[in-house]
């Protein structure tokens, strides 16, 4: 299998997994969000997350921004479709950035190799 086919299959697999995750993911936050709610006393360790629970942060004097796709969605009005759009955009954007960085590093290595060969 050549590199191009391998990359295309990898992107397709990543997109399929990402799209399936939109429908299979739990609406109950886990990990970092769950821990923050637990520390703030809005959730118990073994209980579910209350519907009205929100993470409160003091961002006064700190760097703060609104994410372009909060909670991996395009807003509540689009529902699951918004999640799918966000996953596709995020996957392709991540792939594009990784591909760009790898091309830059490869070009840099080629230049370095050319300089070494010119000196000898």
pLDDT tens string, the chain, 120 residues long: the values are: 898 899 899 999 999 998 898 888 766 656 777 777 878 887 777 777 777 777 777 778 788 777 777 777 777 788 888 888 888 998 999 999 999 999 999 999 888 888 777 776
Domain segments of the chain: what residues? 3-47+80-119
Contacts (Cβ under 8 Å, ≥6 apart) of 83? 22, 72, 73, 74
pLDDT given at position 13: 95
Predicted confidence at residue 28, as pLDDT, reads 64
Give the C-alpha separation, 49 to 37, whole Å: 8
Q: Rounded distance, CA 50 to CA 63, Å? A: 28
Report pTM.
Answer: 0.64
Give DSSP secondary structure letters for 65-115: ---SSGGGSS-GGGTHHHHHHHHHHHHHHHHHHHHHHHHHHHHHHHHHHHH
DSSP 47: S
Write down the pLDDT at residue 120: 62
pLDDT, residue 36, reads 78
Q: How far apart are CA 91 and CA 77, in angstroms?
A: 22
């Amino acid at each position: 299998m050549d590199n191009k086919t391998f990359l295309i299959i990898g992107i397709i697999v990543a997109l399929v997994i990402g799209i399936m995750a939109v429908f299979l993911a739990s609406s109950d936050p886990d990990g970092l969000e769950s821990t923050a709610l637990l520390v703030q006393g809005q959730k118990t360790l073994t209980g579910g997350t209350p519907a009205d629970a929100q993470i409160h942060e003091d961002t006064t004097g700190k760097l703060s921004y609104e994410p372009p796709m909060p909670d991996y969605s395009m807003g509540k009005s689009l529902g699951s479709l918004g999640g799918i759009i966000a996953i596709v955009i995020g996957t392709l954007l991540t792939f594009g950035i990784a591909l760009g960085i790898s091309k830059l590093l490869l070009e840099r290595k080629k230049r370095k190799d050319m300089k070494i060969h010119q000196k000898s």
